[in-house]
């Protein structure tokens, strides 16, 4: 049984599913829900829908004011009336991923079998599991084929998974700053972040909510580590250099001397107010497990038969998901005979470029979407 209701905690909707969801791990969950938001209007033919897949620390609020941050949505430059993803033309859907902490079932929710918070009893999930849940939502909305599935970073993993698993349900894919599989370096960064959380005494082996506690220090450090990877060396240099923070001389201590230190600490502190530590563990693990190469190759006939078009985008200064990894996506898609376009956007702002004001990126994305009929 499935039911769509208004979300009483956040703007948008909930799809409540009283059924069993089988996961890649061999385990399952039941009575799960999917939190999502929509923008624009679904036309009578239901053929103008676009699904946006959010990144690791994103949510279902890419546009307008975010109820989480009280600032513009994380992709407000990309999504909205007259934007590249034009909500005057498209019906835009964005859901919080499985394992998230903004309404979709995750480790900080109640386990219906025990009536206790899941914590680490929540099954380990994969990117394919996240996409499986998104497909349930799209089916419930009675949308047979999406104009496009679009996402950056962890969102790019999801869009490639859509192409591999459900090519009959998409006309096009836009993969932004992504890869076919998580690199050893990125797994290492993820593990450093997870260890910072798990070594915090307030983590309580994942049961911190039962103890009305929170591993704030560990989650803050995890965010600081990750945030370093989101910017380029030039972006750090241009923004901060070696400028001191509200002082003329070094303190010769271990407080904040440099502006960049103050910036990272702020990023860490603000993150703990809007994100769940266990969700961070589960979602980074899902990214580590991601490798869609073989599935795309095995399902190549369905991808070709359904005439899925691909746009692969990268940024020159992105060292987290460098251009060579996007070219690997293009190479695989070319090898199976798919229709793929590629663009490397010149930017000195690193991995986060896809969230910033990058006119070349906007032009290429908008032009590609205009060509999808």
Enumerate the active-site residues.
153, 318, 351
Asked whether 117 and 287 are in contact (CB, 8 A), the reply is no
Helix residue ranges, H only, the chain: 127-140, 154-165, 184-198, 216-230, 233-239, 259-272, 277-289, 293-298, 300-305, 323-335, 359-370
The set of residues, in sequence order, having a beta carbon less than 8 Å from that of 113 and lying 6+ positions away, is: 30
Strand (E) or helix (H) holding 352: none
Compute the distance between CA of residue 123 and CA of residue 107 in angstroms, rounded to an integer.
8
Q: Which two tokens stand for residue 154?
A: 């962890």
Strand partners, 231: none
Which among 13, 306, 310 has a CA at the least distance from the CA of 144?
306
Compute the distance between CA of residue 100 and CA of residue 134 in angstroms, rounded to an integer.
13
The set of residues, in sequence order, having a beta carbon less than 8 Å from that of 29 and lying 6+ positions away, is: 20, 21, 23, 105, 122, 123
Compute the distance between CA of residue 281 and CA of residue 285 in angstroms, rounded to an integer.
6
290 CB neighbour count, 10 Å cutoff: 23
């Amino acid at each position: 049984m499935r039911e769509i209701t208004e979300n009483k905690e956040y703007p948008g909707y909930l799809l409540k599913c009283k059924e069993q969801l089988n996961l890649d791990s061999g385990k399952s969950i039941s009575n799960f829900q999917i939190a999502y938001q929509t923008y624009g209007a679904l036309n009578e033919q239901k053929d103008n829908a676009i699904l946006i897949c959010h990144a690791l620390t994103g949510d279902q609020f890419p546009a307008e004011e975010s109820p989480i941050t009280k600032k513009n949505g994380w992709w407000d430059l990309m999504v909205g009336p007259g934007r590249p993803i034009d909500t005057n033309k498209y019906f835009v859907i964005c859901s919080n991923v499985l394992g998230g902490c903004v309404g979709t079932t995750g480790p900080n929710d109640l386990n219906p079998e025990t009536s206790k918070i899941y914590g680490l009893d929540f099954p380990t999930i994969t990117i394919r599991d996240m996409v499986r849940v998104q497909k349930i939502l799209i089916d419930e909305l009675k949308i047979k084929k999406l104009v496009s599935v679009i996402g950056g970073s962890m969102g790019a993993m999801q869009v490639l998974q859509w192409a591999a698993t459900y090519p009959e349900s998409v006309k096009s894919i836009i993969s932004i700053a992504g890869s076919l599989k998580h690199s050893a370096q990125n797994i290492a960064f993820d593990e450093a972040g997870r260890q910072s959380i798990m070594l915090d005494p307030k983590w309580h082996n994942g049961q911190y909510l039962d103890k009305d506690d929170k591993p704030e220090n560990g989650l803050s450090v995890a965010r600081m580590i990750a945030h370093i990877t989101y910017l380029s060396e030039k972006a750090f240099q241009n923004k901060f250099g070696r400028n001191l923070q509200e002082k003329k001389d070094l303190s010769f201590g271990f407080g904040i001397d440099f502006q960049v230190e103050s910036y990272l600490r702020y990023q860490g502190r603000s993150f703990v107010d809007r994100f769940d530590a266990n969700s961070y563990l589960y979602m980074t693990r899902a990214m580590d497990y991601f490798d869609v190469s073989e599935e795309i190759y095995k399902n190549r006939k369905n991808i070709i038969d359904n005439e899925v078009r691909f746009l692969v985008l990268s940024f020159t200064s992105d060292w987290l998901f460098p251009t060579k990894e996007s070219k690997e996506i293009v190479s695989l898609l070319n090898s199976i005979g798919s229709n793929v376009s590629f663009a490397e956007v010149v930017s000195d702002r690193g991995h986060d470029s896809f969230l910033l004001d990058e006119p070349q990126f906007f032009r290429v994305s908008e032009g590609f979407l205009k060509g999808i009929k």
